[in-house]
């Protein structure tokens, strides 16, 4: 698999350093607050596991599985949420953890759905931000890395549900991937 993708877009060392910084910032910002950290599956599963382990607060965690109809370079037309939360979030602080904010449609939809539960606050944390593709305005409080418009796989991010298990982030060259598969 690694031969297809070449060098990591972000090294594992740089990733570890940045995620530790995010954890420190989140720990400071939510000191003394009742925080539920919600991971958006499947894409955020690797980032989420690394992030929550560097948040030094007694948080609770929960997950949502969300999908969007999406092709490379096109925003999702619709967002579908497949699961319910198991934790109550009313009057509690919520941090929604995404793999990547691209058009912003997924994050915007999930935030609007979570608002219905009347939390005390909701913020978004994303490993990657692709501001060049943004179609809707959404405030992203915590960003790991800002990236160019290229399609990225690995470290939880997929192309047609594959390559989530690549241990690092890599730009995808669809011609090379299709030739190998
Ligand atoms: P949105 O356009 O911000 O709604 O992003 C929708 C979803 O598309 C994200 O949560 C990702 O799962 C996926 N996505 C967007 N850009 C990429 C990418 O470069 N690689 C892999 N998945 C992506
Ligand atoms: Mg995804």
| pLDDT digits (tens), the chain, 181 positions | 657 787 889 988 999 999 999 999 999 999 999 999 999 999 999 999 999 999 999 999 999 999 987 555 665 568 999 999 999 999 999 999 999 999 999 999 999 999 999 999 999 999 999 999 999 999 999 999 999 989 999 999 999 999 999 999 999 876 666 666 6
Residue 173 has a pLDDT of 77
Residue 102 Cβ inside 6 Å of ligand 1? The answer reads yes
CA 78–ligand 2 middle distance (angstroms): 13
CA–CA gap between residue 12 and residue 114 (Å, rounded): 32
Q: Is the pTM of this model over 0.85?
A: yes
Residue 142 has a pLDDT of 98
Q: Where are the domains of the chain?
A: 2-174
CATH class of 2-174: alpha beta
Residue 12 has a pLDDT of 87
Residue 99 Cβ inside 6 Å of ligand 1? The answer reads yes
State which H helix or E strand residue 4 sits in. Answer: helix 2-5
- Which are the catalytic amino acids? 102
Residue 36 has a pLDDT of 98
In terms of Cβ atoms closer than 10 Å to its own Cβ (0-12, 13-18, 19+), residue 154 is: buried
């Amino acid at each position: 698999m690694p031969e297809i993708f070449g060098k990591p877009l972000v090294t594992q060392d740089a990733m570890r350093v940045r995620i530790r910084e995010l954890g420190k910032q989140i720990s400071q910002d939510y000191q003394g607050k009742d925080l539920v950290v919600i991971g958006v599956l499947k894409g955020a599963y690797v980032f989420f596991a690394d992030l929550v382990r560097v948040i030094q607060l007694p948080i609770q965690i929960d997950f949502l599985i969300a999908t969007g109809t999406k092709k490379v370079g096109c925003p999702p037309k619709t967002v579908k949420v497949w699961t319910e939360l198991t934790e109550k979030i009313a009057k509690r602080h919520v941090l929604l953890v995404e793999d990547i904010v691209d058009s912003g449609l997924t994050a915007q939809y999930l935030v609007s759905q979570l608002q219905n539960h009347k939390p005390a606050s909701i913020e978004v944390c994303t490993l990657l931000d692709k501001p060049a593709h943004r179609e809707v305005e959404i405030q992203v409080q915590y960003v790991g890395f800002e990236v160019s418009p290229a399609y990225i796989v690995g470290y939880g991010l997929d192309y047609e549900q594959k390559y989530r298990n690549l241990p690092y982030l890599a730009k995808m060259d669809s011609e090379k991937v299709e030739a190998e598969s």
